[in-house]
Amino acid sequence: MRLWLIRHGETQANIDGLYSGHAPTPLTARGIEQAQNLHTLLHGVSFDLVLCSELERAQHTARLVLSDRQLPVQIIPELNEMFFGDWEMRHHRDLMQEDAENYSAWCNDWQHAIPTNGEGFQAFSQRVERFIARLSEFQHYQNILVVSHQGVLSLLIARLIGMPAEAMWHFRVD
C-alpha cells in the first residue's frame, strides 16, 4: 500500500493566518492552480482509492486533482482538521486580547488545553489514530490518495513512522 498525501489548496484563511479548522474556507485562485498542478503531476498514478476530509476545501482539491478520472471519493470525517471552536476564523492577535486566558493556556500547554468550545489535541489525536487503525482495511489497495489538512497530515506522518503525536510539528505539509 502506498499513501499519497495531499493538503488542500491555499485558502484566504491560510494567507491571513486565521484558525480555520472546520470553517468553510474556499480555495483561492492560487489554491485552485495548486490542485490543477497536482492533477498534472499525478496524472500517471493509478489511484485505487481516494480518501478525503468532509471539509469543502479538501473535497474541492480532490475534485480538481482527479478531474478527468471516474474515481469515487470516500469521505472520512477522521481526516477533518482540528476544530477550533470559538477560535475559528480568528487571528492569534485577536485571541490574545479577546480570550487571553484560554489562548495563553493553549499556547503554553497545547497538548492539554482546549480551544474555547473546540477540540483539544488529545481528542484530535485520538480521531487521527482511529483513521490510522482503519488503514488495515485498505491494505489490498496499491495507491491510496489521501486529501486532508496540515494538522491531520503532520500528525499522520509522525504516527506512521513511529514518532509520538507531539512530534507532528516536525512535519510541515505545504
Active site residue 39: no
pLDDT in tens, 74-123: 999 999 999 999 999 999 999 999 999 999 999 999 999 999 999 999 99
pTM of the model: 0.94
Q: Which residues pair with 2 in a beta bridge?
A: 143
pLDDT score, position 33: 99
Which pLDDT belongs to residue 155? 97
Query: Distance between CA 94 and CA 144 in Å, rounded?
Result: 39
8 annotated to a ligand binding site: yes
Instruction: List, in order of start, the domains of the chain with CATH numbers.
Output: 2-170 (3.40.50.1240)
Other beta carbons less than 10 A from residue 110's beta carbon: 14
| Residue 158 assigned to a binding site | no
Pick the catalytic residue: 78, 81, 88, 119? 81
Question: Average per-residue pLDDT in the chain?
Answer: 96
pLDDT at residue 174, rounded to an integer = 78
Percentage of residues in the chain having pLDDT higher than 70: 100
137-166 pLDDT, tens digit each: 999 999 999 999 999 999 999 999 999 888
Residue 168 has pLDDT above 90, yes or no: no
151 assigned binding-site residue: no
- 11 assigned to a ligand binding site: yes
Q: What is the DSSP string of 9-66?
A: PPBHHHHHTEE-SSS---B-HHHHHHHHHHHHHTTT---SEEEE-SSHHHHHHHHHHT
78 carries an active-site annotation = no
Residue 173 pLDDT greater than 90, yes or no: no
